[in-house]
Structure 1
């Protein structure tokens, strides 16, 4: 079964010969960066190897979530929520954005205590966040049958439609002057005297002063060809959507067994709460040392497997010239098969928790590849070794909600504007300058 279908975005007919900035990747991070730059008066090429938003940006849960963010992400996510609130008016298009609140159900007293500890991170920002139980929990999820010792509730959290968002932002960027090219892979950087002077695409060269790599799960491969070490692996999550359902929850919720949010069409998006799939690939061994802390912390939530993905990536070129066909052209859209057992398990758990879902029609299921870093915090950074080159990737399953904020921060870095938040914790060099790799404590 193919993945979800984002709103189609037509390609511009011709490639520009020169722009100020080339943005590689048409997901929500790349489109948000392009919109920010174009609105500031910079000429931009947004180049996507496939279709706008066709990979993880349309395959995620659709959560706009501040709750349980790593503290290093909180300031940027607060800015992202502020941007989401005005994004429909800004783009002139529907995004399905709604403040609905999100509940994280505690599996026991230990996780409840962890939620209470995390909520203190929002106190300096004066944002409401609390642990609820009993009648308060029941009022937020009428008719539920979830067994929990309490749940973290953040009312400012929301939801939006992944199939609408990146395309809407891309079209708004074009209306602000950006060039938008689909089915146009950027093959490599053009570097002279050590700094970026342009890019080579499959349709020809483009001169520019800066390049932003927002390639999601493909970013490590592109960076590696440019001689830049970017520690990043892929994790697969499986999602399904239902037909419209009467009487289901308005508030989004997460449990160990499933995650659920209402869709704009009245149906529900349901995914595995835990149980992400990790395909063992050659990079698993190359990056084992850096990812070891994450593996120890998240071992119980990951399902490792040896699949045909090993051979796909083992055969994939890791170096190429600008006049050669690249892996980005050989796989326009990364469309993995959903994990049937995990999908069925999450669907069964959701129906048990919400009787209103029983008998609902499952319309579609899909999987998506999440780009993860060793500390599960994104890279939004200049690349020190190559002036003019910037990277925004590794959002570790948190990219959809934070996308507009990430785009604003990246535009600040590219243009030299005062950054909307301190980007130090998001720098690429933290993986090579001796900084200890630390993860947010689990719950």
Structure 2
């Protein structure tokens, strides 16, 4: 029986402390977060030092790791205070920082020795010579550019022993390794310093302008959608064996600004698939239910990106698209009484008696049922749960556990 000697890490996004804990409960081996400085997601729920301490303590209690993304491109003055920032992360117990700018790499290496450094995908590492260069500079891991294909990964892995991290799921930037200036021009927000306005996802028309004050649509009367410059999302759920066999050490999920519904679902699915292959590669079979589960949190079509060739117009967002089922995350289990079969739920979105709902939890557990009755905290019967974060009770058809999630089709 063939054995896999190295199981890759499931690395999940965590935009808030709640998402960090959710990702780890649902199978992530590590999470990546942002601090209040030096990152590329200024609108994400970036962590204070106290929140980092709590997150690190929780992660360690579950044998997981916490990485901090500090991957901005620095202009003059942007790196002020970086040494103290990295020193604090090291002392908190952060497992590594993810950096792209050589200035920040140098500051971290010299002023916070002992804090591991990972090269961000923003640095566009696409060949083994580049990986060996950064390893010689003291970096432990390189996050590959998203433009690297599977055959290239195989060759890179054969000629380097630095750790390799690769994106396997989530949104794709239309620009090379995320180094885009479209947002700068369209909205005066610097994408490489954390201010991306996602201008590529706006809708654009195509116009003829024979004179400066004239504008005529080239597509007038045509039954077509407006253009965008945006890529579909990535999903490598069908190709876990290739990733494992080609030596990828860490499988990264995009989405620090996504919900706990997304984080829990995607972490749960990839945990199942990776464990299934690594535990018994000879008898591994892809399960369609894994992909079906991912569609429940999908926002766009899915593709494999650059892994098996250059994307075509079929991997761009325009024209007719598949209708994606829209699921609402409606609640989280707080408690369950085995004797009465009553679950206590924290409401996250509106639901009512008569709704068809689904519970899911870590380990890929699922329970579908109809809500037959609801009670408020005082035990009074109610017919719906309309108020944000209200606590309600309901009878369930089978046991559930704290931190299980509830959702329904919109």
Higher share of residues assigned helix: 1
Does the alignment reach a TM-score above 0.5? no
> TM-score with structure 1 length normalisation?
0.24
> TM-score with structure 2 length normalisation?
0.26
